[in-house]
Homo-oligomer: A and B are copies of this chain.
Amino acid sequence: MDVYERLKELDIELPEAPAPVGKFLPFRQVGNVLFASGQGSFYKDHRIEGKVGADVTLEEAQLGARYCIINMLAALHSSLGDLNRIRKVVKLLAFVSSDDQFFAQPAVVNGASQLLIDIWGEDGRHARSAIATNTLPANLSVEIEAIFELK
Protein backbone atom coordinates (compact mmCIF):
# COMPACT_ATOMS: atom_id res chain seq x y z
CA MET A 1 0.00 0.00 0.00
CA ASP A 2 1.29 3.44 -0.95
CA VAL A 3 -0.01 6.20 1.32
CA TYR A 4 0.08 8.82 -1.42
CA GLU A 5 -2.02 6.63 -3.76
CA ARG A 6 -4.46 6.02 -0.92
CA LEU A 7 -4.73 9.76 -0.23
CA LYS A 8 -5.46 10.29 -3.94
CA GLU A 9 -8.19 7.60 -3.83
CA LEU A 10 -9.68 9.39 -0.83
CA ASP A 11 -9.50 12.67 -2.75
CA ILE A 12 -7.29 14.26 -0.08
CA GLU A 13 -4.82 16.89 -1.19
CA LEU A 14 -2.15 17.59 1.40
CA PRO A 15 -1.77 21.33 1.95
CA GLU A 16 1.53 23.08 2.54
CA ALA A 17 2.88 21.96 5.92
CA PRO A 18 1.57 24.44 8.52
CA ALA A 19 4.42 26.50 9.97
CA PRO A 20 4.68 25.74 13.70
CA VAL A 21 3.26 28.77 15.52
CA GLY A 22 5.92 28.61 18.20
CA LYS A 23 9.39 27.38 19.02
CA PHE A 24 8.84 23.70 18.33
CA LEU A 25 9.32 20.93 15.79
CA PRO A 26 6.58 19.08 13.86
CA PHE A 27 7.78 15.84 15.46
CA ARG A 28 10.53 14.12 17.41
CA GLN A 29 11.56 10.51 17.01
CA VAL A 30 12.93 8.10 19.64
CA GLY A 31 13.85 4.72 18.25
CA ASN A 32 10.98 3.87 15.90
CA VAL A 33 8.43 5.92 17.83
CA LEU A 34 7.40 9.27 16.41
CA PHE A 35 5.78 11.92 18.61
CA ALA A 36 3.88 14.41 16.45
CA SER A 37 3.04 17.93 17.66
CA GLY A 38 -0.51 19.12 18.08
CA GLN A 39 -2.21 20.30 14.89
CA GLY A 40 -5.28 22.50 14.60
CA SER A 41 -8.63 22.43 12.82
CA PHE A 42 -8.13 24.35 9.61
CA TYR A 43 -7.57 23.47 5.98
CA LYS A 44 -5.87 26.13 3.91
CA ASP A 45 -8.13 29.16 4.50
CA HIS A 46 -11.04 27.26 6.01
CA ARG A 47 -10.92 27.53 9.79
CA ILE A 48 -13.13 25.57 12.19
CA GLU A 49 -13.09 27.82 15.23
CA GLY A 50 -14.96 28.53 18.45
CA LYS A 51 -16.59 26.31 21.03
CA VAL A 52 -18.32 23.15 19.89
CA GLY A 53 -21.89 23.12 21.15
CA ALA A 54 -22.07 26.90 21.02
CA ASP A 55 -20.33 28.37 17.94
CA VAL A 56 -19.69 25.15 16.03
CA THR A 57 -21.86 22.12 15.27
CA LEU A 58 -20.83 18.52 15.83
CA GLU A 59 -20.55 17.99 12.06
CA GLU A 60 -18.31 21.03 11.59
CA ALA A 61 -16.15 19.90 14.49
CA GLN A 62 -15.81 16.40 13.01
CA LEU A 63 -14.54 18.03 9.84
CA GLY A 64 -12.19 20.06 12.03
CA ALA A 65 -10.83 16.87 13.61
CA ARG A 66 -10.24 15.51 10.10
CA TYR A 67 -8.38 18.71 9.21
CA CYS A 68 -6.06 18.21 12.21
CA ILE A 69 -4.97 14.86 10.80
CA ILE A 70 -4.54 16.23 7.29
CA ASN A 71 -2.30 18.99 8.68
CA MET A 72 -0.35 16.43 10.66
CA LEU A 73 0.21 14.30 7.58
CA ALA A 74 1.29 17.42 5.66
CA ALA A 75 3.73 18.27 8.44
CA LEU A 76 5.11 14.72 8.56
CA HIS A 77 5.33 14.51 4.78
CA SER A 78 7.36 17.70 4.79
CA SER A 79 9.65 16.92 7.74
CA LEU A 80 9.84 13.11 7.71
CA GLY A 81 10.06 12.99 3.92
CA ASP A 82 7.95 9.92 3.22
CA LEU A 83 4.64 8.97 4.83
CA ASN A 84 5.23 5.38 3.76
CA ARG A 85 7.72 5.13 6.63
CA ILE A 86 4.75 4.98 9.02
CA ARG A 87 3.95 1.43 10.13
CA LYS A 88 0.96 2.14 12.34
CA VAL A 89 -0.87 4.76 14.33
CA VAL A 90 -0.36 4.28 18.07
CA LYS A 91 -2.36 6.95 19.86
CA LEU A 92 -4.25 10.21 19.52
CA LEU A 93 -4.68 12.78 22.25
CA ALA A 94 -7.42 15.15 21.10
CA PHE A 95 -8.69 18.36 22.63
CA VAL A 96 -12.05 19.84 21.72
CA SER A 97 -12.92 23.44 22.59
CA SER A 98 -16.29 22.83 24.22
CA ASP A 99 -19.27 24.60 25.63
CA ASP A 100 -19.78 23.46 29.24
CA GLN A 101 -22.90 21.55 28.15
CA PHE A 102 -21.29 19.73 25.20
CA PHE A 103 -20.36 16.15 26.07
CA ALA A 104 -19.79 14.44 22.69
CA GLN A 105 -16.04 14.96 22.31
CA PRO A 106 -15.57 11.31 21.23
CA ALA A 107 -17.99 11.83 18.32
CA VAL A 108 -15.96 14.88 17.26
CA VAL A 109 -12.69 13.00 17.34
CA ASN A 110 -14.15 10.14 15.31
CA GLY A 111 -13.65 12.49 12.35
CA ALA A 112 -9.91 12.10 12.89
CA SER A 113 -9.94 8.41 13.77
CA GLN A 114 -12.04 7.45 10.75
CA LEU A 115 -9.63 9.17 8.39
CA LEU A 116 -6.66 7.29 9.84
CA ILE A 117 -8.53 4.00 9.45
CA ASP A 118 -9.55 4.95 5.89
CA ILE A 119 -5.89 5.50 5.04
CA TRP A 120 -4.13 2.69 6.89
CA GLY A 121 -6.88 0.14 7.61
CA GLU A 122 -6.10 -2.01 10.65
CA ASP A 123 -2.75 -0.25 11.06
CA GLY A 124 -4.66 3.02 11.32
CA ARG A 125 -6.53 1.92 14.45
CA HIS A 126 -5.22 3.50 17.65
CA ALA A 127 -5.59 4.17 21.33
CA ARG A 128 -7.17 7.52 22.05
CA SER A 129 -8.34 10.07 24.57
CA ALA A 130 -10.85 12.78 23.68
CA ILE A 131 -10.79 15.69 26.13
CA ALA A 132 -12.68 18.96 26.38
CA THR A 133 -11.09 22.36 26.95
CA ASN A 134 -12.59 25.80 27.45
CA THR A 135 -10.60 27.23 24.53
CA LEU A 136 -7.64 26.45 22.25
CA PRO A 137 -4.81 28.27 20.46
CA ALA A 138 -6.01 30.72 17.78
CA ASN A 139 -9.57 29.93 18.91
CA LEU A 140 -9.54 26.74 16.83
CA SER A 141 -12.11 24.12 17.78
CA VAL A 142 -9.91 21.01 17.78
CA GLU A 143 -6.24 20.23 18.40
CA ILE A 144 -4.81 16.72 18.07
CA GLU A 145 -1.39 15.28 18.80
CA ALA A 146 -0.37 11.73 17.91
CA ILE A 147 2.14 8.93 18.31
CA PHE A 148 3.10 6.78 15.32
CA GLU A 149 5.27 3.71 14.97
CA LEU A 150 7.74 3.84 12.08
CA LYS A 151 8.95 0.89 10.03
Q: Which residues of chain B are near A133, meaning CB under 8 Å? A: 131-134
Give Cα A102–Cα B139 distance, bound, in whole angstroms: 8
- Is A93 part of the contact surface with B, judged by Cβ < 8 Å? yes
* Count class of interface residues, chain A: 35 or more
Give Cα A113–Cα B24 distance, bound, in whole angstroms: 7
Select which of B100, B131, B137, B147 is within 8 A of A104 by beta carbon: B137
Given contacts A91-B35, A133-B134, contact A24 B103 (CB under 8 A): no
Give Cα A75–Cα B113 distance, bound, in whole angstroms: 19
- A127 and B95 form a contact (CB under 8 A): no
Given contacts A106-B21, A113-B22, contact A38 B139 (CB under 8 A): no
- A129 and B107 form a contact (CB under 8 A): no
Q: Mark A123-151, 1 if CB is under 8 A from B, else 0.
A: 00111111111111111000101010100
Q: Which residues of chain B are near A131, meaning CB under 8 Å? A: 38, 95, 133, 136, 143
Q: Mark A82-109, 1 if CB is under 8 A from B, else 0.
A: 0000001111110101111111111101
Q: Which residues of A contact B (CB under 8 A)?
A: 21-28, 30-33, 35-38, 88-93, 95, 97-107, 109-110, 113-114, 117, 125-139, 143, 145, 147, 149
